Structure 1
Amino acid sequence: MAVDIPLVIQNEILCRLPIKSLIRFTSVSKQWKSFIHSSEFNFNFMVRQAHRKCLITAVDDVDVENVDVVDDNFRKQCLSGEERWPGCLIVDDDDTFPKRKVCLTYPRSLNQLKNTYLEFHGSSLGLLCFSANHIDEDDTFIRCVIWNPSIRKSIAIETPYYPNVKIAFGVCPKSLDPKIVKINMFDVPYGLSYDEQRRVWRVEVFTLNSRVWRSPFVKIPSKWFDINFYEQTPPLVINGFIYWLRYASIHYTDRNADGRSYMIISFDLATEEFMKIHVPDELAHSSFDIFKLGESVAISESSPRDCKVWLMDHVTKSFTELYSIKLPEPMTKLGCTDNNQLIIIDYPSGELVAYDPDSKHLINLGIYVDCFTASFTSYTESLLLLDQSNTLNDDEGL
């Protein structure tokens, strides 16, 4: 680096540059490459590039003529009509929302698996995580893929397949180490009858820096084993915590209950501790939507047209009622923009709709998604994976 420019000033300049420029600069010298690859620079870059984007996955209907940026692979697949997974759409979360749209294909490490079900596990510090099950007579495994769409690089991790495995993902904000949390659930006989089975959890954590799976140091309470996963809700990753929506079965002798007790389970990416978070009594025995609002967890009733929105305090883990909304029909809340507009799926068309709580108006976004697999989450560019070995470059022309 230039010796006549203080290192602090150089850092400030580089943190404001586009990612493509930084990648080219790693070829200038070993010193520049080492500096740009460092964890300290990665952290400073993410702080400076904190303008948020919104990520929509599993896009069913994309008109490439109305998309600002379409990668070559996606355009070729659209023109050829070959079988493929739906695209990944990134929409700027600013005053132009949702005008500027960037459409990408999924990484090649996922597209190599054909006729499999793709599952999205969250976005954290510029990285996305997906998984797909590969099942055939010769080999059976789960392929997890960590992908940085900003630098078009991904890394695949394979693990044995289990029928009831659940996966979550997040980057530890202290170490910038990506982690995959895998929970294998087994039903084992406890008594003589079928109803007397007990569920066993086996938790494993994969860290990218170590490249190994291991059990976390903190033991899960045995009374949690009856807690089930809410299938249609992907986990949230906020401020170094992963949040799942869960439910526990209730004895049907309780006539006031619907058979389930709902709650949120969190996982601390730094300490690897699990915690049970109780929700407001109004939602304890009914399903609800969980989504990200700003840097906090928000929840609301799933089905009613008139429903309340609660916001969780990050420190106390308690909920405060934020506002009430009135929808023309029951809709699933997927997420929230920077200006507090709720992103909702309009059934059965699958079109994404933005609800403004101030004007009480619904805005059609002209984006169509899979009603069962769609997700909407915040996204910030980062350089993570740039220095990792065994990565797959999904865009050789970058």
Structure 2
Amino acid sequence: MSDNIPFDIQLAIMNRLPVKSLLQFRSVSKLWKYSIDCSDFVREYGFRESNNCCLYLTFKQNFEGVICSVDDNLALSPVVSNLKFFNLTPFATSEGVWCFSYGENSMLLIWNPSLKKSVRILVPNYLLEADSPKMLFGFGVHPVTLDPTLLKINYPYYGQGPWYVSVFTLSSRTWYKLDSYCLPRESIRIKRSGQAVVGGKIFWVGSEKFYSDDGISYKIYMLVSFDLITHQFQVIDMPEEMLVGQCLPPYYISQLGDCIIISGSFKFVDFSIIYAWELQVDDGEVSWYRKLFTLPYPIEHDLKLIGFTKDKQPIVEASFVQQLHQSLQVFNPTFQIFQNLVVESNHGSFFIGPYKESLILLNV
């Protein structure tokens, strides 16, 4: 840029450029590199939709891990990366940044596909906290500072017992344990069926077990949120209409834009149904909800909602009772059927996230 243009105007122009251009501009001068790497510039740049790609898709095929970009026409293109995706298990994405676990949950990896840059974080082990199969991770990006934040959640496998929650922020590079007053009731358990990051909060589906007078156990389901600013949990009741009738557990959680999606499936005698509800949460309660879809499919298949196209068509992971591999399918509203995208994966390995350009991790 011309030296006659004031530097603040130059920065304002650069703030409107795609990430690829900014990475090239960092080599122009030390001043530009310092300015682009600055946390204030990264925060102001924020995150934005890409014109060339709408989704990223990861999956495993036999002994190989694959990552592809998905365009508006659902065409898949391989993504070049130095990561070995077969060893990585994706569990969350937030504002264009992905998070994986690997090494039997001994390490986490935060990855920004826009920058092709990643950061590894060791998971702490505490002698007074017996790790159990109920351990789970959470991930989100702080809505103001854009600071990637990790959670490690532990509680006893059976019955009630204390929660142990540790929080890691990339800016501090340290883990710290949450005080008990920040945590939900000990009797609540979080389902490891996905998460959503909406409005600066991470959401999961939770459950709480009760017993009737005759000793029969039953569960009540709810939403559990973690505030990325205050680092406090909150329990939110789900609408009664979602918890009775045809919408039965297990429930899966995902998101569509700024809305939470609760989905599931169930079988009748000769066909099955997959359904999804769309919710908005404000001030600690569900302020609005509606049934997004209820779609039939053949009884010999199992479907799980994993994402949406740019046109909000459901993308599902489909399994057939006589096959070992899963297929990726999208609902065609014109023909009212699920169409196979001719992509096969190992069981349960499909993971989809919206593609957003950001500079998060640039100044790490």
Q: Is the shorter-chain TM-score for this pair beyond 0.5, marking a shared fold?
A: yes
State whether residues 303 and 331 of structure 1, in contact with CA within 8 Å, keep that contact through their aligned partners in structure 2. Answer: no
Summarize deviations over 1:214-258 as a string: whole Å, max 9, x none: 123672456x22222323x12222332211122222326579x87
In structure 1, list runs of 5 or more residues that go unmatched. 62-83, 135-140, 188-194, 389-398
Equivalent pair of 1:310/1:320 in contact (CA under 8 Å): yes
Deviations 1:319-357 (A, max 9, x none): 422443222235211112221100111113411111145
Identity %: 29
Is 1:216 matched up with 2:178? Answer: yes
1:371 maps onto 2:347 in alignment: yes
Q: Look up the equivalent residue of 1:107 and give its one-letter code.
A: L
Distance apart, 1:12 and its partner CA? 4.7
Task: Identify the match of residue 144 of structure 2 among 174, 179, 196.
Answer: 174
Structure 2 CA distance for aligned equivalents of residues 9 and 357 of structure 1: 47
Aligned partner of residue 342 in structure 2, secondary structure: strand
Q: Does 1:291 align with 2:262?
A: no
* 2:68–2:78 contact (8 Å) kept in structure 1: yes
Alignment partner of 1:249 out of 189, 209, 214: 209
CA apart distance, 1:184: 1.8
Match of 1:347, SS state, is strand
Equivalents in 2 of 1:381, 1:171: separation in Å?
14
Correspondence 1:142 to 2:143 = no
**In the alignment, residue 118 of structure 2 is paired with which amino acid?**
S
In the other structure, the counterpart of 1:342 is 314
* 1:206–1:214 contact (8 Å) kept in structure 2: yes
| Residues 1-398 of structure 1 mapped to structure 2, 5 A cutoff | 2-7=2-7, 9-49=9-49, 51=51, 53-60=54-61, 85-92=64-71, 94=72, 96=73, 98-105=74-81, 107=83, 118-134=88-104, 142-161=106-125, 162-164=131-133, 165-186=135-156, 198-216=160-178, 219-220=181-182, 224-231=185-192, 233-251=193-211, 253=213, 259-284=218-243, 286-304=249-267, 305-306=272-273, 308-315=275-282, 316-329=285-298, 330-348=302-320, 349-357=325-333, 360-388=336-364
Q: Distance in 1 between matches of 2:146 and 2:228?
A: 10
Taking structure 1 as the reference length, the TM-score comes to 0.75
Q: Distance in 2 between matches of 1:8 and 1:296?
A: 36
Structure 2, unpaired ranges of 5+: 126-130
For the 8 Å contact 2:211–2:217, the answer to whether it is kept is no
User: How many aligned residue pairs are there?
Assistant: 340
Partner Cα distance (1:260, 1:132) in 2: 31
Equivalent pair of 1:340/1:356 in contact (CA under 8 Å)? no
CA displacement 1:56-99 (0-9 Å, x = unmatched): 222427xxxxxxxxxxxxxxxxxxxxxx551222212x3x2x11
Look up the equivalent residue of 2:79 and give its one-letter code. Answer: C
Deviation at 1:48, TM superposition (A): 4.9
Structure 1 residue 183: Cα displacement: 0.8
| CA displacement at 1:382 relative to structure 2 | 1.4
Whether contact under 8 Å (1:334, 1:345) holds in the other structure is: yes
Q: CA deviation at 1:283?
A: 3.7
Alpha carbons 1:87, 1:105 under 8 Å: kept:
no
Q: 3-state DSSP class of the match of 2:226?
A: strand
Q: Could you say if the C-alpha distance between residues 318 and 50 of structure 1 is closer, same or farther in structure 2, counting changes exceeding 3 Å?
A: farther
2: CA distance, partners of 1:120 / 1:172: 19
- Residue type of the alignment partner of 1:25: F
Q: Describe the SS at the equivalent of 2:361.
A: coil
Q: TM-score, normalised by structure 2?
A: 0.82
Residues 169-205 of structure 1, C-alpha deviation per residue, up to 9 Å, x if partnerless?
Answer: 1110201111101112236xxxxxxx8x532111110
Contact 1:58 1:374 in 2 (8 A): yes
Distance in 2 of aligned mates of 1:221 and 1:229: 12
Alignment CA distance shift 1:360-1:12 (3 Å): farther
Aligned Cα RMSD in Å? 2.9
Deviation at 1:266, TM superposition (A): 1.0
With 307-316 and 166-175 compared, the bigger mean Cα shift is at 307-316
Cα separation, partners in 2 of 1:246 and 1:357, compared to 1, 3 Å: farther
Cα distance change of structure 1 residues 100 and 40 upon mapping to structure 2, 3 Å threshold: farther
User: Is the CA contact 2:190–2:224 (under 8 Å) kept in the aligned structure 1?
Assistant: no
CA shift in 2, pair 1:302/1:8, >3 Å = farther
**Deviation digits for residues 23-60 of structure 1, max 9, x if unmatched?**
23212222101221123432443455455621222242
Tell me how far apart the structure 2 counterparts of residues 39 and 121 of structure 1 sit (CA, whole Å): 26
Whose strand fraction is larger, Structure 1's or Structure 2's? 2
Structure 2 CA distance for partners of 1:250 and 1:369, relative to 1, 3 Å: farther
